[in-house]
């Protein structure tokens, strides 16, 4: 062997080893399994909800960290999801609507989370509703997706998405051509016939197809379920898993609404307020049946992850895009500025992290998911993010979170939430309308006594107002981009 041959062989060995080690290090980067349910509030067994039958998510909670006080950034789908995927508050990005279009059309300056991961060598895939789409009519479409974020995007559909089926579900209230009001049924169908069940089949196939050992790339798989968003149509077996005798409708004091600004009943029609008891009980039953369904689907996907030998190197996030009122204050559906509509479940499992089965009580938001996943995967964001990384909490639940969180809602409502208080005000053309609420959540967790303008709370009110004003003014000046 002459000198030249030795050098060439050495070079080949270096290149080969380099490629192999690059491949090995790619395979070591953690995969991301992101599961999001639609309109799911913090109503799971691991959140001490006695009616919820959620064995799979409760088990997931034992493997990681449950964030007890996690809030969405907007109480409807479009802005909540756009905020989560951009890492920016709706009042910073201006994305405060549910209009059609694409993410990139409204958010040209903010690289979406999946796109950033894709640009950093991840094999990315979406199944179902990750960005906004109208339910049920938008099922089977891409909604306000960011197509640049995915190597593969699956627009799954199924039995409950077809108008001939959902239109036959039990319905109460005025005309409902969109199918989104009080509407529920429990047909004798198999899980896999439903749109979410079909999504599960697709998601499991993608786990196999995108296995890092096959692709040489870590994966980011997002599975977005359509339930428990109405119409609440769930396969019969999940309806049967909920015991109707355990349903307790929320107590509403007689004078409850006297101190609540009318604007908070943004959805003021009779179909959203004080619905007849028979429907209230059935609709609550349907919501919890849908939660059981969601739990079952998530459980099967996590099981598939384990069967594929991927659990040891996959970060799992389970969450919802906003909450849902089930008769609290007599109100139904989302779109109010109360806790039940703003608080969401958030479970994060990082198999490498120290805390298992722990609970964080500090304030966090869905805005924090972007920086958290970047931090956990070692990816540098391309724009300034407004949330914080929750990685410290995964290693030590006593690590400090935030002093306050911000939540928006229609029409131009703004909440600042602290560990003790929630202050909400409404604005019109940038000016305060005078409608406002202040609740002491430590002593009045059901928000029955609006403390606004009471002399003994003036100082608290002024301070929260000052912090909210400062945050909104900073956003208006573009200081946070």
Q: Closest CB to Ca ion belongs to which residue? A: 77
Nearest to Ca ion of 35, 77 (CB atom)? 77
Applying CB under 5 A, which part among 198-206, 270-278, 300-308, 317-325 lies near Ca ion?
317-325
Contact segment (CB under 5 A) with Ca ion among 73-81, 158-166, 432-440, 459-467 equals 73-81
- Minimum gap (Å) between residue 381 Cβ and Ca ion: 25
Provide the H-helix boundaries in 136-276: 163-166, 195-209, 212-215, 236-239
Q: Which two tokens stand for residue 143?
A: 């909604």
In this structure, what token pair is assigned to residue 37?
């349910």
Question: Least distance (Å) from Ca ion to the CB of residue 38?
Answer: 4
**Part of the chain binding Ca ion (CB under 5 A), chosen from 71-79, 175-183, 413-421, 428-436:** 71-79
CB-wise, 89 or 122, nearer to Ca ion?
A: 89
User: Using the rule CB under 5 A, which residue among 321, 328, 375, 447 binds Ca ion?
Assistant: 321
Beta partners for 406? 416
Q: Which helix (H) or strand (E) holds 68?
A: strand 65-71
77-85, 160-168, 216-224, 350-358 -> range binding Ca ion (CB under 5 A): 77-85
Separation of alpha carbons 235 and 243, rounded Å: 16
Buried b (16+ CB within 10 A) or exposed e, 141-171: ebbbbbeebbbebbbbbbbbbeeebbeebbb
Eight-class DSSP state of 152 = E
Residue ranges in 139-178 that form contacts with Ca ion under rule CB under 5 A: none
Q: Calculate the CA 56 to chain-centre distance.
A: 18
Nearest to 112 by CA among 84, 86, 93: 86
* Total residues at interface with Ca ion (CB under 5 A): 4
Of 140 and 392, nearer to Ca ion (C-beta) is 140
Which of 31-39, 183-191, 255-263, 342-350 is the region at the interface with Ca ion (rule: CB under 5 A)? 31-39
Residues 294/297/299/303 CA torsion (nearest 10 deg): -170
Q: What is the DSSP letter of 391?
A: H
Q: Near Ca ion by CB under 5 A, which window of 9-17, 35-43, 140-148, 348-356?
A: 35-43
> Which region among 49-57, 284-292, 314-322, 432-440 touches Ca ion (by CB under 5 A)?
314-322
Minimum distance, C-beta of residue 410 to Ca ion, in the bound complex (Å): 13
Minimum distance of Ca ion from residue 135's CB (angstroms): 8
421-428 vs 413-417, strand pairing mode: antiparallel
Count of residues for the chain? 481
77, 294, 363, 385: residue in contact with Ca ion (rule CB under 5 A)? 77
Least distance from C-beta 324 to Ca ion, angstroms? 8
Q: Would you give the DSSP letter of residue 348?
A: E
Nearer to Ca ion among residue 344 and residue 349 (C-beta): 344
Residue 39 interacting with Ca ion (CB under 5 A): yes
Question: Judged by CB under 5 A, does residue 340 bind Ca ion?
Answer: no
What is the closest distance, in whole angstroms, from the C-beta atom of residue 81 to Ca ion in the complex? 8
CA pair distance 135, 123, nearest whole angstrom = 28
H/E element holding 224? strand 219-224
Q: Which of 73, 52, 54, 76 is nearest to 333 (CA)?
A: 76
Q: Which of residues 275-294 bind Ca ion (CB under 5 A)?
A: none
| Nearest CB to Ca ion, comparing residues 39 and 92 | 39
Element (H or E) spanning 358, and its range? strand 358-365
Helix (H, G, I), strand (E, B) or coil at 317: strand
Beta bridge partners of 343: 71
Helix, strand, coil percentages for the chain (3-state, nearest 5) = 40, 20, 40
Determine, following the binding rule CB under 5 A, whether residue 38 of this chain makes contact with Ca ion. yes
C-beta of 198 vs 322, nearer to Ca ion? 322
Find the part of the chain contacting Ca ion (CB under 5 A) among 30-38, 185-193, 272-280, 364-372: 30-38
The tokens describing 451, both together, are 């403390």
C-beta closer to Ca ion: residue 58 or 321: 321
Of 64 and 179, CB closest to Ca ion: 179
Closest separation between CB of residue 138 and Ca ion, Å?
12
Shortest spacing between CB 341 and Ca ion, in angstroms = 10
Does residue 125 contact residue 150 with C-beta atoms inside 8 Å?
yes
Closest to Ca ion by CB, 286 vs 374, is 286
Binding-site ranges for Ca ion (CB under 5 A) = 38-39, 77, 321
């Amino acid at each position: 062997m002459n000198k030249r041959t030795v050098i060439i062989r050495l070079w080949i060995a270096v290149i080969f080893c380099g490629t192999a080690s690059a491949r090995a290090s790619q395979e070591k980067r953690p995969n991301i399994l992101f599961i999001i349910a639609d309109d799911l509030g913090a109503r799971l067994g691991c959140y001490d909800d006695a009616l919820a039958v959620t064995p799979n998510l409760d088990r997931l909670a034992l493997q990681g960290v449950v964030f007890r006080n996690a809030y969405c950034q907007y109480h409807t789908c479009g802005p909540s999801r756009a905020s989560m995927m951009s890492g920016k508050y709706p009042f910073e990005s201006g994305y405060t609507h549910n209009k059609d279009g694409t993410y990139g059309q409204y958010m040209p300056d903010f690289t979406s989370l999946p796109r950033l991961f894709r640009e950093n060598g991840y094999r990315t895939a979406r199944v179902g509703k990750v960005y906004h789409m109208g339910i049920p009519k938008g099922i089977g479409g891409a909604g306000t997706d960011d197509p640049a974020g995915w190597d593969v995007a699956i627009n799954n559909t199924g039995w409950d998405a077809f108008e001939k089926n959902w239109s036959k579900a039990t319905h109460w209230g005025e005309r409902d051509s969109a199918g989104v009001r009080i509407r529920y049924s429990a047909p004798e169908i198999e899980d896999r016939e439903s749109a979410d069940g079909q999504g599960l089949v697709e998601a499991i196939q993608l786990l196999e197809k995108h296995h890092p050992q096959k692709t040489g790339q870590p994966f980011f798989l997002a599975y977005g379920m359509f339930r428990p968003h109405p119409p609440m149509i769930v396969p019969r077996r999940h309806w049967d898993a909920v015991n109707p005798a355990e349903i307790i409708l929320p107590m509403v004091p007689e004078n409850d609404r006297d101190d609540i600004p009318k604007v908070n009943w943004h959805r003021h029609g009779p179909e959203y307020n004080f619905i007849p008891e028979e429907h209230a009980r059935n609709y609550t039953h349907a919501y919890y049946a849908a939660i059981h369904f969601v739990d079952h689907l998530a459980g099967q996907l996590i099981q598939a992850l384990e069967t594929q030998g991927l659990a040891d190197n996959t970060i799992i996030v389970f969450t919802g895009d906003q909450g849902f009122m089930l008769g609290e204050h007599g109100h139904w559906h989302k779109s109010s500025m109360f806790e039940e509509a703003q608080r969401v479940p958030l479970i994060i499992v990082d198999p490498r992290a120290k805390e298992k089965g722990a609970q964080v009580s500090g304030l966090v938001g869905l805005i924090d998911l972007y920086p958290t996943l970047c931090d956990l995967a070692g990816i540098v964001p391309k724009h300034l993010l407004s949330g914080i990384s929750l990685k410290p909490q995964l290693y030590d639940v006593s690590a400090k979170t935030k002093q306050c969180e911000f939540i928006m809602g229609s029409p131009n409502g703004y909440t600042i939430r602290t560990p003790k208080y929630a202050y909400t005000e409404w604005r019109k053309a940038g000016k305060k309308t005078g409608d406002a609420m202040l609740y002491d959540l430590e002593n009045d967790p059901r928000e029955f006594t609006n403390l606004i303008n009471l002399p003994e709370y003036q100082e608290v009110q002024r301070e929260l107002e000052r912090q909210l004003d400062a945050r909104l003014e900073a956003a208006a000046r573009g200081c946070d981009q």
